[in-house]
Structure formats: structure tokens, C-alpha cells
Amino acid sequence: MAASMVDSGEDAFRKIFKFYRRRNPPPDLTGVTDFSGGEPGDRVVPAELDLAAVSDVEASRVGLKPVREWRAFGLQGYPGFIFISNPFLRGCQAFWVRQCLKTYPQKPNICNLDMHMNPSETQDIWGQSAPTLRSRKPKTLLEKLRWVTLGYHYNWDSKTYSSSSHTPFPSDLHSLSSRVSAACGFPGFQSEAAILNFYRPDSCLGIHVDESELDHTRPLLSFSFGQSAIFLLGGRRRQDPPTAMYMHSGDVMVMSGQSRLLYHAVPCILPAAAGRSALEAEGPPVSQEDWTVCRRYIQTSRVNVTVRQVLEPGQSLPETRACSPQGTAAAAADRDTQV
């Protein structure tokens, strides 16, 4: 169901979201844009990168290929949108999967499980989950993880950030983000907040706009790992019908300029297509013990990391009173299901 098949109107985005969300009968995916083909088409155009912005050594330090080898594309009608088809070196996605599952959910970072569990119970999600995942016995805390926030922690109730809710941003994730943003024409990007979304086979992400950041001149970066997904990119209004595209493991999206504040959503998760089992076959730069857990998890799941710069230089955030855990959990759940 291409966007052109639906007239603009009040329910245009919602109709397409439900089309790709349905299970019986399954949706026709022939109209979904697949950037992994590597060739520009009617709507897919080459994207210009700054080849001198990131050296080969700098790229390799965060697991990326030389920028000249990246396959980067734009989409006609979406200025500022850049899609990079898996720029990671062979084996290096595994490191980022391990960070998302083992390192980033650790305290003092915040996750959905904190909303209804004691801090002591969520202190070591990986440690409590790894033995069970290795033995294939569900269901672990790791499999109940839905989101983690880093840096400035997003308030799901007020849809704002606060100076009183902040922890140090991971330096390795900032290094990855700053290199991608520099290659895309945004040097000096400051990684100040991130949301990790963990998708099970039946998960989705409702229609929304990421507008809580105070600086919209800086891009929104998105990194995908694990199972594939359908991503819908719309317009500035809910009435604008969206374009559907695949996001495969390793793919990177950059939303900047006029595309920074567009409505978007993820209606469904798809099993990785044949030939997309690189994560399974690679010799990962992590221990075999850790990789056994990661591999078991991503066989059925997807992890997405969105990184944002919250503030313009010289700006500061107000302090706000922390919201109730119950309210935060409800607001976060609403974002996952609202269409």
C-alpha cells in the first residue's frame, strides 16, 4: 500500500499504519522502499556525504567502514532525510548490541522496569537474565525491557527534559553519533540524550514527532540492530500520508532540516530476510559468553537507538519536579500504542 494510494486526509497516516500493522491477512510489502538494494530509483536519490569529515581510523574506532564506502541515500520529497544502509564493519554490530543489552540499561540510567520495581531489582538486568537466556527459558527481565533513557532523561508525562534528571552520556555512543553526524554535514554534534527502544515481535511505535529538544537545527540519529522493521515517514501534519521503508540491522537514519520534525512511526517488526543473518555469522568482538546471550535475544527482537542534541550552545534546561512512576509508565505505554 503505497502512500500515493491513500488520499491526504484526517486518517491518512493512521490508515497506512493499521495496514502494515495487521496480521490477517498480512500486508502487501511490495511497495515498501528497500535501501539495501544499493541503487537509486524513482524516489531514492544518492545523498552527499563529507568524505573528509571522518578519517578511516576514526571511523574504524567505532566500528564503521570508511565514509567513502557508505551507501547513503535521500528520498525525494523529504529534504534533510538521509538513510545509510549498514555502514558497520563486519563483526562490529555485535559490540553495539552488547552495549544496548548489557551496559546501557545499568544504573544510573533509567528504564521502564524502574517504574514498577525496586531499584535493587533492576540493578543488574543482564546478570539476572543471562543464565536464563542461555538456557532458552523465558521470560527474563531483559525480555521485559521496553525502553532505556540516557543523558537527559526524557519525561514521558510532560514530554520534556530537565536539568534535574540527567546522567553522564556514554562516551562510546557519543563517539559513534558524532562521527555519523559529521559525515552527514553536522560537525560539532553533542550527544545529550538518547532513547533505546526494545521491540519484541508484536511491538510497535505509535505515530509521533520528536520535538521535545530545544535545538531542532541539529539532527536526530537512529541506529537499528537485530530484526527488521517497517518505518513510516510522514509530513508535518497527521493528514499527510507516509512513505514506508525497511529498516534492517545496522541501518542508520538521519532526520535533519525540513525532515527533523516529521511524523513517523514503526507499525511492525519483521523477521530478518534471508541473507541478513550477518549478526549470526560474524565473529563478534565480544566474549562468546556475552554473544550467546545477545544472539539469543536478537533472534526474535530489535533494538533501536535514537540520539539527540537537546540544547543549543549556551542554553540550559529548567529544573522540574520528578513525575510519579505510575504516570511515567502510562505515558510511555501510550507512546508505544497510540495511532
- 3-state SS, 198-216, equals EECCCCCEEEECCCCCCCC
271: preceding bond cis by omega (within 30 degrees): no
How many angstroms separate the CA atoms of 322 and 156, rounded?
Answer: 11
- 3-state SS, 63-120, equals CECCHHHCCEEEECCCCCEEEECCCECCCCHHHHHHHHHHHCCCCCCEEHHHHCCCHH
CA distances from 102 to 1, 56, 129, 191, 216 (A): 38, 28, 10, 20, 31
CA dihedral (257, 261, 263, 268) positive or negative: positive
Three-class SS state of 144: helix
How many angstroms separate the CA atoms of 258 and 81, rounded?
Answer: 8
Does 166 count as an annotated binding residue? no
Nearest to 282 by CA among 89, 104, 16: 89
Specify the residue for cell string 562468546. Answer: 288
Nearest to 269 by CA among 296, 307, 231: 231
User: What beta strand segments (E) does 234-301 contain?
Assistant: 243-247, 252-255, 264-270
DSSP assigned state of 139: -
CB 65 within 8 A of CB 89: yes
Does 174 count as an annotated binding residue? no
CB 192 within 8 A of CB 310: yes
Name the binding residues for Fe cation: 208, 210, 264
Specify binding-site residues.
208, 210, 264
